[in-house]
């Protein structure tokens, strides 16, 4: 199944080799699975297949030069490295494998390889004797020790006439290998409830109070939990985002709606409750039945406090493991630690929404995660990457937590 590739950001690196023709098919396979693909080609690769072909197939500009002024003015090599969820080099020649293993960064592909925090994988393709050479095997072992995923070649006839190991896997096989990188299964059998997006508190039939939450972080977390093997219920305020595959989505409007839906979902079975929603702190004391007309220069609206959803869930008997969020504009760490304690949370992830490059409406985020025994800083990265890191932290804490009985 390729579902885990949906909305993933894939950098496909193409190095020199006759197997480069398979990379064109691989682009289409990845796209058909829902991935966004950017292609990076070495100079040697361009002798086997043209950048124009790869651009036409991917729908994105092809990246070929490390110090291209036009490219650096757009998606430069460091930004490209940060953008990716996975960097897959297919085909990976013996030369490129050697350079990767020893940290040689003398072109765009090897430079972004060193600069990325994304998952990394190589699909070797070479003559059978080159593959069998001890130095190549040593380089492959070095890459694996560095945490690189190696999609080992198959055996068969080769373009040079030899027969043996060294044929790059077919595009369908590589797409599946790439998808498998995101299927961590660390939450297999667990039931997860996630709140996401803003709430909307009506003033009258046409006006309401809300906030700038896009829901992106919560939806990325839902996908990350699915990748990790969980059963996911996503309770979402009004947002314009597609429902992730295999996720049960419950649409709500107000904070009161979200509370009721959350309590019901938790009561039906929940191991992990993730509260990413930006819930309105207050709501109008009454909702006008008709549109409120202009009444002079000032108008006064009485507001009443909304229930604190995450605190309600976290302070209930037999509560699930709870991950809360703190979106602050000042004294971020201080407020986060206070909420961790006062709301009886197990983990809290906080970010500074006064920053214009992360948080609300942005595709990126940066967070500091606190729990009673420790903390972890998550540097700026796409929200999809941040989500997977948060899921990994939650899964680890769930394994060591003795205060919660698992519903599965």
Burial 70-86 (b: 16+ CB within 10 A, else e): ebeeebbbeebbbbbbb
- Count Cβ atoms below 10 Å from residue 20 Cβ, excluding itself: 25
Tokens coding 290: 């008709």
**Coil vs helix vs strand at 140:** helix
281 secondary structure, DSSP code:
S
160 is catalytic: yes
| Cα 298 versus chain centre, distance | 45
Q: Where are the alpha helices (DSSP H) in 44-199?
A: 51-58, 69-73, 77-83, 94-101, 108-115, 128-132, 134-145, 171-180
Q: Which of 197, 204, 174 has its CA nearest to residue 2?
A: 174
Residue 4's H or E segment, with its range, is none
CA terminus-to-terminus distance, the chain:
24
Which residue of the set 160, 177, 178, 225 is catalytic? 160
Residue 245: its H or E element: none
Cα–Cα distances in angstroms (integers) from residue 180 to residues 21, 65, 149, 296, in the given order: 23, 30, 11, 62
Q: Is 314:344 a contact under the CB 8 Å cutoff? A: yes
Which residues are known to be catalytic? 160
């Amino acid at each position: 199944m390729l579902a885990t590739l949906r909305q993933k950001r894939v950098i496909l690196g193409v190095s020199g080799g006759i197997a480069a023709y398979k990379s064109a098919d691989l682009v289409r396979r990845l796209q058909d699975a829902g991935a966004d693909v950017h292609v990076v080609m070495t100079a040697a690769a361009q002798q086997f297949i043209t950048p124009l072909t790869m651009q036409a197939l991917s729908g994105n500009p092809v990246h070929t030069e490390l110090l291209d002024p036009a490219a650096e003015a757009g998606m430069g090599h460091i930004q490209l490295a940060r953008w990716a969820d996975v960097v897959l080099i297919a085909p990976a020649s013996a030369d490129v494998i050697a350079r990767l293993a020893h940290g040689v960064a003398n072109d765009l592909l090897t430079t972004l390889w060193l600069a990325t925090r994304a998952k990394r994988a190589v699909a070797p393709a070479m003559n059978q004797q080159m593959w069998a050479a001890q130095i190549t095997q040593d380089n492959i072992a070095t890459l694996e020790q560095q945490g690189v995923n190696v999609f080992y070649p198959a055996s068969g006839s080769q373009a040079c006439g030899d027969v043996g190991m060294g044929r790059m896997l077919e595009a369908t096989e590589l797409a599946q290998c790439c998808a498998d990188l995101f299927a961590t299964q660390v939450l297999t059998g667990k039931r997860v409830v996630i709140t996401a997006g803003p709430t909307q508190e009506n003033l009258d039939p046409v006006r309401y109070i809300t906030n700038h939450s896009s829901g992106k972080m919560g939806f990325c977390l839902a996908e990350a939990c699915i990748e990790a093997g969980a059963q996911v219920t996503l309770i979402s305020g009004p947002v314009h985002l597609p429902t992730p595959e295999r996720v049960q989505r419950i649409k709500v409007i107000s904070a009161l709606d979200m509370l009721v839906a959350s309590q019901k979902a938790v009561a039906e079975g929940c191991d992990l409750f993730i509260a990413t929603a930006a819930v309105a702190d207050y709501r109008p004391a009454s909702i006008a039945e008709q549109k409120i007309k202009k009444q002079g220069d000032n108008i006064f609206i009485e507001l009443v406090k909304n229930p604190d959803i995450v605190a309600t869930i976290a302070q209930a008997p037999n509560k699930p493991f709870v991950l809360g969020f703190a979106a602050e504009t000042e004294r971020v760490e201080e407020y986060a630690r206070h909420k961790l304690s006062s709301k009886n949370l197990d983990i809290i992830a906080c970010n500074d929404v006064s920053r214009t490059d992360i948080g609300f409406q942005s595709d990126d985020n940066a967070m500091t995660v606190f729990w009673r025994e420790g903390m972890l800083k998550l540097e700026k990265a796409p929200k999809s990457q941040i989500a997977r890191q948060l899921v990994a932290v939650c899964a680890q804490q769930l394994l060591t937590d003795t205060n919660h009985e698992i519903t599965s």
